[in-house]
Structure 1
Amino acid sequence: MLQSFTERKVEMRERGRWQIGAMAAVGLVLLGLIGCIQAVSQGQAEALSQSTPKREQITMKKGSEVNPELVAANTRFGFKLFSEVLKQNQNKNVFVSPSSVAIALAMVYNGANGTTQAAIAKALELNGITLAELNQANADLQVLLQNPDPKVQLAIANSLWARQDVPLKPDFLQRNQQFYGAEINNLNFNDPQAIKIINGWVKENTRGKIEEIVDSISPMDVLFLINAIYFKGDWTQPFDKTLTADRPFFRADGSQKSHPMMSQQGDSRYLETEQFQAVSLPYGERRRMSMYILLPKKAAPITDLYQKLTAENWQQWVTQFRSRPGSVQIPRFKLEYEIELRRALSALGMADTFDASKANFSGMSDLQTHIDQVRHKTFVEVNEEGTEAAAVTSIGIRATSATLDEPFTMVVDRPFFCAIRDNQSGSVLFMGAIVDPQ
Structure 2
Amino acid sequence: MKSYIPLLIFALIGVWSCVPKEDVLVGPVTANIRELAVQEQQLSDANTKFALKLFEQIVQRNPDNNLFISPYSVHQALSMTMNGNQGSVLEEFKALLEVEDLGLEEANQAAKDLTAFLLGLDPQVNLAIANAIWYKQEYQVQPPFKQTARDYYKAEIAPLDMWDPNSVNIINNWIAQQTHNLIRDMLDHIPSNAVMYLVNAIYFKADWTYNFPKANTKKEKFYPKPGQEVMVDMMSLGEPATFNFYQTSDYGYIEIPYSSGQFSMGILYGYDGNTEELTKRLTMDNLVLWREQVREWNVILKMPKFKFSHKIPNMADDLIALGLVTPFGFHSDNFTKLFSNPTDELKISRVIHEALIEVDEKGTEAAAATIVEVIERVSFPPSGPFTLVLDKPFVFFIQEKHSGAILFMGKLENPL
TM-score range, shorter chain: 0.7 to 0.9
Q: Is the counterpart of residue 393 in structure 1 residue 370 in structure 2?
A: yes
* 1:283-340 CA distance string (max 9 Å, x none): 11x2110001111023x62221111111221122122221111211111000010123
Query: SS of the residue aligned with 1:82?
Result: helix
Q: Is the counterpart of residue 100 in structure 1 residue 100 in structure 2?
A: no
Residue 311 (structure 1) aligned to one of 274, 284, 290: 284
Q: What's 1:272 paired with?
A: 247
RMSD of equivalent CA atoms: 2.0
CA–CA distance in structure 1, aligned partners of residues 83 and 289 of structure 2: 32
Query: SS of the residue aligned with 1:214?
Result: coil
Is the 1:122–1:348 contact (alpha carbons within 8 Å) kept by the matching residues of 2? no
Query: SS of the residue aligned with 1:133?
Result: helix
Q: Is the counterpart of residue 325 in structure 1 residue 298 in structure 2?
A: yes
Letter matched to residue 121 of structure 1:
K
Q: What's 2:334 paired with?
A: 360
Is the 1:240–1:263 contact (alpha carbons within 8 Å) kept by the matching residues of 2? yes
Q: Offset at 1:254?
A: 3.2
Q: Which has the larger radius of gyration?
A: 2
Q: What's 1:374 paired with?
A: 351
CA–CA distance in structure 2, aligned partners of residues 116 and 333 of structure 1: 41
Structure-to-structure mapping, 1:198-209, within 5 angstroms: 198-209=171-182
Q: Which has the higher contact order (CA 8 A, sep 6+)?
A: 1
Q: Which runs of 4+ in 1 moved over 6 A?
A: none
CA–CA distance in structure 1, aligned partners of residues 181 and 226 of structure 2: 34
* TM-score between both structures, scaled by the size of structure 2: 0.78
Q: Offset at 1:237?
A: 0.8
Is the 1:159–1:226 contact (alpha carbons within 8 Å) kept by the matching residues of 2? yes
Is the 1:338–1:378 contact (alpha carbons within 8 Å) kept by the matching residues of 2? yes
Query: SS of the residue aligned with 1:125?
Result: coil
Q: What's 1:17 paired with?
A: none
CA–CA distance in structure 2, aligned partners of residues 222 and 354 of structure 1: 14
Structure-to-structure mapping, 1:255-270, within 5 angstroms: 255-264=228-237, 265-270=240-245
* TM-score between both structures, scaled by the size of structure 1: 0.74
Is the 2:16–2:265 contact (alpha carbons within 8 Å) kept by the matching residues of 1? no
CA–CA distance in structure 1, aligned partners of residues 142 and 227 of structure 2: 56
Is the 2:165–2:190 contact (alpha carbons within 8 Å) kept by the matching residues of 1? no
Q: Is the counterpart of residue 156 in structure 1 residue 123 in structure 2?
A: no
Q: Is the counterpart of residue 112 in structure 1 residue 56 in structure 2?
A: no
Residue 384 (structure 1) aligned to one of 361, 364, 367: 361
Is the 1:91–1:252 contact (alpha carbons within 8 Å) kept by the matching residues of 2? no
Is the 2:195–2:376 contact (alpha carbons within 8 Å) kept by the matching residues of 1? no
Is the 1:24–1:209 contact (alpha carbons within 8 Å) kept by the matching residues of 2? no
Alignment size in residue pairs:
339
Pair 253,128 (structure 1): closer, same or farther in 2 beyond 3 Å? same
Is the 2:91–2:100 contact (alpha carbons within 8 Å) kept by the matching residues of 1? no
Q: What's 2:63 paired with?
A: 90
CA–CA distance in structure 1, aligned partners of residues 143 and 226 of structure 2: 54
CA–CA distance in structure 2, aligned partners of residues 185 and 270 of structure 1: 47
Is the 2:136–2:162 contact (alpha carbons within 8 Å) kept by the matching residues of 1? yes
Pair 65,154 (structure 1): closer, same or farther in 2 beyond 3 Å? farther
Q: What's 1:197 paired with?
A: 170
Q: What's 2:389 paired with?
A: none
Q: What's 2:406 paired with?
A: none
Q: Offset at 1:352?
A: 1.9
Unaligned 5+ runs, structure 1: 1-22, 26-62, 401-438
Q: Offset at 1:357?
A: 3.5
Identity of aligned residues (%): 34
